[in-house]
Amino acid sequence: MYHLDTRFIVGTLGADESGILAVKNCSMINRRKFLKSVAGSLVLANSGILLPKNLLAQSSQMGPPELPQGALEEAVLQALPGKKPLIKRTYRPPNYETPVQYFNELFTPNEVFFVRYHLADIPQVDIQQWKLSIGGEAIEKPMELTLEDLRRDFEQVEMAALCLCSGNRRGLFKPHVPGVQWGYGAMGNARWKGVRLKEILVKAGIKKEALEVTFNGADGAVLEKTPDFKKSLPVWKALDENTLIAWEMNGEPLPDWNGFPARLIVPGWTGTYWVKQLTEIQVITRPFEGFWMKAAYRIPKGKFPIVDRFISQETEVNTPITEMVVSSLITNLEEGRQFKSGQPIEVKGIAWDGGYGIQLVEVSTDGGKTWREAELGTDAGRFSWRPWSYRFAPTEKGKYTVMAKASNRLGQTQTFELILNPAGYHHNVIQRINIEVI
């Protein structure tokens, strides 16, 4: 293995077909030079022009205005190798979110799919040397598998599923909580191709005493005392037919930043379990004691309407975060946008949940006083987000508050009030966007 060069690319800015600033004629600079160059402004390469940071943030929409002031001020659009410009939230480790405009597509293109890492030592894996180790005290026949073994020896399946960071929208919490101050873009919908984890475990011989299955990736910590990012699943979830080891994303090999050569796919559950650059699977007979399970990614017990419980990891006061809560997002309107009286307005968006299926999306144009049913778009499967749209033509001038509310087939719906929790998870408060008719 050799290490991935995580230096930034800065170049001449231009607008692509989506209206998002793109980086062209790119050149590489190191982190120190980059930070120096953006201390007060961004230097456009080979132009001699200084672009103020606040102008860049306004024009490229670095996130909703509710984000903490520092998060908006420090955000810049940057292109990691192989990616289009994304919104940088942190550099080391790299955490980049997708601009909302890209969510108007059913599947999020690989080159704009968000990037989330906990550890800063990120290797670029040599596929000729990569192997997936299967073992642990509850496995009868430990084995190692190459990517060719996975392709040849197991049935290949493809599934549409939303990958959503547990802390998506954390930056909208009030009062603000620690952690990466994500806006709306720490998520992406994709078609994942691979093999069922169940088939691998059955071939290795899973013992009846098995309680949990742990997963480790190739990324590592810079500091020795930093805990390795290692996760576990209850054995019943590992054996679910929808839990995959995937090597393709939207018909292409996984990008380096999204888990190449293989990653865990846990449809319906938040992205913390979707371990990237997977190297090791261990089946164990006791609750896993690692930091990222016992201390991190936990929510207060009983606060959320969760069906899938991770009982072996529960305590009297908290429980691991598991499935996503029902939510929606308006994707084509911006705060303060103006329309002419009588002009038809289309409100577009997406809705999702933990895999039970979106039943209904309602839209309000008067701040929640009245609601109308939106038209649901393509159903790509219960783990995919669901596009929706609503049209109206206001004739009265003035301000309109547009809201969207999703409900799933279990009868769960979005909340009007934030459910507070220390780590800032499961933000699914109904969104409000103010527009004006002139």
- Cα(340)–Cα(342) distance, rounded to whole angstroms? 6
How many H-runs (helices) and E-runs (strands) does the chain carry? 7, 31
- Cα(327)–Cα(332) distance, rounded to whole angstroms? 16
Handedness of CA 213, 219, 221, 224 (dihedral sign): positive
For residue 149, pLDDT beyond 90? yes
Contact status, residue 120 vs residue 4, Cβ threshold 8 Å: no
For residue 48, pLDDT beyond 90? no
Domains of the chain, start order: 2-109 (no CATH), 124-320 (3.90.420.10), 327-437 (2.60.40.650)
Top-confidence residue, 189 or 46: 189
pLDDT tens track for 67-96: 998 888 889 999 999 999 999 999 999 999
User: What value does the mean pLDDT take over residues 346-358?
Assistant: 98
User: What value does the mean pLDDT take over residues 112-133?
Assistant: 96
How does residue 344 score in pLDDT terms, banded at 50, 70 and 90?
very high
* Confidence (pLDDT) at 31: 35
What residues contact 281, with CB distance under 8 A and at least 6 apart?
A: 132, 133, 134, 135, 136, 197, 200, 201, 213, 214, 215
Top-confidence residue, 7 or 431: 431
- Both ends of the chain: CA-CA distance in Å? 60
Top-confidence residue, 39 or 294: 294
- Which whole-number Å values give the CA distances from 226 to 90, 220, 311, 336, in the listed order? 17, 9, 27, 44
% of residues, the chain, pLDDT over 90 = 82
Q: Which residue has the tokens 């955490």?
A: 95
- Cα(169)–Cα(68) distance, rounded to whole angstroms? 11
Amino acid at 265: I
Mean pLDDT, the chain, integer: 88
Contact status, residue 359 vs residue 352, Cβ threshold 8 Å: no
Q: How many residues does the chain have?
A: 438
